[in-house]
Every structure is written in C-alpha cells, then in structure tokens.
A and B are shown apart, each in its own frame.
Chain A
Amino acid sequence: MSEGSKVSTGGGKRRYAMVVDTRRCIGCMACQVACKAEYDTPLGVNRTWVPYKVVGKYPNVKKQFLPRLCNHCEDPPCVRNCPVEATFRVEDGGFVLQRYERCIGCRSCMAACPYNARFMLPSHRTYTPITNVVDKCTFCFHRVTQNLVPACVQTCIGRSRVFGDLNDPNSEVSYLVAKNATQVLRPEEGTKPHVFYIGADRNATEFGRDAYQKREVMEPERSAFKNHFKI
C-alpha cells in the first residue's frame, strides 16, 4: 500500500460500508465467484462466501442465505494483533487492508478475527504471484478508488449487496441503514463491523445453542477439507 492512502482528508473523510439485504439474497453464489475471479483467489479459501440454513419443518420450510465477508471493522482486532502492521486500517474510507510484502505469515490476525474473514494464501495460484501470506477481502479498494463498486456488489443478481459511503447522508447505504432495522455480526465483539445486514435472522448470525451443532451433512466434506489442510 502506498503511503498516500493513509492520508486523511479531514472533514471529507469517507466511511465505506456494505449493506447486505438478506431479503434479496437468492444464494446464487455469483458474488463469491466474481470475487474469486477478481483476485484469482485459490481453491479452499474465500474472501466472501454464502452459507445457508434450511429452517423449519416440512412443509413450512425456508432457506436463509447469509453472505459473508470482512466487515472492515471500525475497531479491528486483526489490526491490533498484527506484530508488524502488515494489516492496517485506511483512515479515509475505512478499508482494512494488507501489506503483502510485509506480512510475515504469523496468522495472529486470522486468530484475532471473530468472523473468519482471513485466510492464508496457499503456495499454488493460477497467475498471481502473491502467495503464502494472509489475505482477505479488501472491499475492492482498487476498484472503489476508481469509483467502481466492489466486484461482488457489481454482479449481485438479487441486488442484495449495496456499497457506498456511510458518511454521505444521500448515499444508498445511508438511506438503507437509516430506513431499515439493520444487524451486524457478533456485535458483542465490539469490532463495529461495517457490513450491515437487513433481515438477518439472529439464529443465523449469532451463536445460538445449536450454532455449532455439527451438521451431519458437513461431516464428509469437513473431513475432506481437514485432510487437505492437515487440521
């Protein structure tokens, strides 16, 4: 990251945020794949992912999707925990970013993130030379600074993801946050996330007593994953 990005613009400071309107999310996975393409993200790791839950009993059953990504926390424990400031917060915009060339790969930030938003880049990648350092969603910093929305927002079929400047009272995100009840993930962590959900079911976003109930459906997949990553 160039030092320039650390410059604060004082009064004109922006605070980017994403609103994820779960009422509009159809679980199409376009966001997830668009993000993979944008960053040549390797298999096994994701900057964004869309888990779902099937809730209810036959025949009253529904599907709930909960798109996930880095929350670009106002108070990010990942940044606090990085020994070398390889991860840092950009004042103007609120992006939490990585300095890949500085990262030593100690994974403290991964352990610190309450949202599992960070991952270690494996040594194999299709064409991008950055490997073996920690990576995560950048809020598409390189696009946003070119006045484009993030890739996942751009392709979002349900228009469930909306991105913009929360400090601008006229922006769509400000409007959505003002007019709707919104939720953030794990507010008790005090991270002040900047991904706001509309209509997110607390059963899906918070640790209910069954939040970690091993779903039998996952087990074969999970053991394959664990085998691969030698967990």
Chain B
Amino acid sequence: MGDYVWFHDVSWHASYAVYFFVIGILAGLSFISYGSWRTPALRPLREKAAYGSFLLLGVGGLLLIGDLSQPLRFLNILNPAYLNLTSPLAWGALNIVAFGIASVVYILALRKGNEKNGQLLALITALLALGLPIYTGFDLTVHQSRPVWNTPIMPVLFVALAIASGSAVGALLAAGNAEAQKVLREYMLWSAGAVAVMLVSIMGTTNYGGSAAELTFMIMTTGSMGLLFIGVGFLAGSVAPAVMLFAPMGRSPSVVLVSALLILAGSAALRYVLLMAPQQIQTLY
C-alpha cells in the first residue's frame, strides 16, 4: 500500500514456546524426583517423575531438533570443532546431553533399587535439570536488543515456571495422595507467587523501558496477546492459584488440582507471550 514497507519474520515461532513448556515441566519433575529423597511424602512420585522427565526429554529434544531448519545437522552442535561457548545454545546442548545421560544412569539406578547412588544421581540430575530453565532463560536474555528478554530476571523466572509447572504435573500425577499434594501445594504456592511477582516487575520495567519496550508492553497487555498474558498467564495462571492455594481452602485436594491445571495453562501462555511478544516490534524495524 502507498508506502514501501519491509517486514521481517520473527526468529522463533510458537513451536519454540512449546519446547520451553516441555523443558520446564521436565525440570520440575526432576526436582520432585530428587525431592522425594528428602521429603518422604513425595516418595510415591519418585519413579513417575523420573520417567516422566526422561520421556519429556525425548519430546523436548524432538521439538528442538524439529524446530531447526536443518534438523539433520543437529549433531553439529555437539561437534567439538564447531562448539562456540559464547552461545547459550551451545551450553544448552551440552546441558541437555548431560541431563539425558544423568537421567539414564539415574533411572537405571532406580530400577536396580540402588538406594545409595540413587540420591546422589537424583541430585546430579536435578542440578542438570536446573540448568535447563536457566539456559532457556539465558537463551532469551542474551538477545540484548529485545525488550523483556534482555532482563536478568528471565532465567529466574524460567526456574520458577519450571517449579510451578513441574509441581502442577506432579500434583496431577499424585491425585488422591494427600501427603504428596500437601508438599506440592507449597511448591506451587510459592513458585506461582514468585512468578506473579516477577511478572509485575517485568511489566514495570517494560512499560518504563523506553519506546521499544513500551510498545512491547502494549503488545503484551492488549489484544489477544494481552488476553493470554494478563488474563491467562498472570491472573488465571499465577495470581489466582497463588491466592487460592494460600487461602484456607487451599489445602483441599480439588483446589490443588484446579490450581495445578491453572498453573499449567498459565505457564504455557506465559511462555508463548514471553517468546512472541518481544519479537513483534522487531518485525517492523
């Protein structure tokens, strides 16, 4: 129309958000599995969480590889001659591989009933799992010119989201187990609360972050993105479960289950918006 206008494709499409979501749950499950060594109430979830986490690693790995435009070249990333250690993606790849190996060893130990090594392996696996939300957060943070992404809070937020969504899945898996749910309720409560607090600070720095950030704020808070971010992600997916779980009725199993569902929906929406919204303005520049 009337003007020559140049648009640019976004770098990452929605499938990458799905990957983030999966990675988050995977890490959260890993934490639970490790937690079961320290908190007896979680014991029934130990194997389920470990298997679930490993299974999701497969899913996440496929998603990640499938998102590459040259999926068959994914091995390049593990080629030591090519490795570029200034790239969070390179670290991420090492982290994923290490996590995969640790998971396998851990699962083998579980199957052998090797109690002694089990706890150590669970710890190692959980630590490596912790790296995953951190690296995905960093993966965004390092993009210096993107509002929202380029904030130090990203890795922390991703860890909190991992705990929240992992615990939510745990709570669903532990349906009927009041003991486990009690612990998971705590995890969910504090992580969802933390997410909500972080979102507030993100919104603040974004709205007062200069024009690019401001427009990103506008995109994130209005229209369908706004519905997803404020409505689903912030209010329904973080504030509401935190409040519900905090309230006296929060201990009832049905509230825990509802909160878990809300947290899952919210954390999916948040990942989508956090990934897509900051890329929108760039398509115009």
Contact = CB atoms under 8 A, between A and B. Distances in A.
Q: Note whether A and B contact each other (Cβ less than 8 A).
A: yes
Given A82-B84, A114-B144, A222-B7, 7 more contacts: A29-B4, A51-B5, A52-B3, A86-B82, A113-B145, A214-B284, A222-B284
B12 interface: yes
A124 interface: no
Q: How large is the interface on A (under 10, 10 to 19, 20 to 34, 35 or more residues)?
A: 35 or more
Given A46-B6, A84-B83, A217-B2, A231 B13 contact: yes
A21 B6 CA distance: 21
A132 B69 contact: yes
Contacts of B285: 115-116, 211-212
Interface in B154-169: none
- Pick the most buried of B69, B89, B281: most chain A CB atoms within 10 A of its CB: B69
Interface of B: 1-13, 67-70, 73-74, 76-77, 79, 82-84, 86-90, 92-93, 139, 142-146, 210-212, 214-215, 279, 281-285
Interface string A66-110: 001000000001001111111000000000000000111111101
B contact face: mostly helix, strand, loop, or mixed: loop
Contacts, number: 155
A133 B73 CA distance: 11
14 contacts: A44-B9, A52-B4, A80-B84, A83-B90, A84-B79, A84-B90, A108-B11, A108-B139, A111-B11, A190-B144, A210-B211, A217-B2, A218-B284, A222-B283
A231 B3 CA distance: 22
Contacts of A52: 3-4
Given A82-B84, A133-B70, A207-B212, A108 B89 contact: yes
Contacts of B70: 103-105, 132-133
A215 interface: yes
Contacts of B93: 83
- Pick the most buried of B70, B77, B88: most chain A CB atoms within 10 A of its CB: B70
Contacts of B282: 116
A26 interface: no
A61 B13 CA distance: 39
A112 interface: yes
Given A51-B5, A210-B211, A231-B9, A120 B73 contact: no
A107 B11 contact: yes
Contacts of A133: 69-70
A149 to B, nearest CB: 23
Interface string A190-225: 100000000000000001111111110110111001
B86 A81 contact: yes
B84 A84 contact: yes
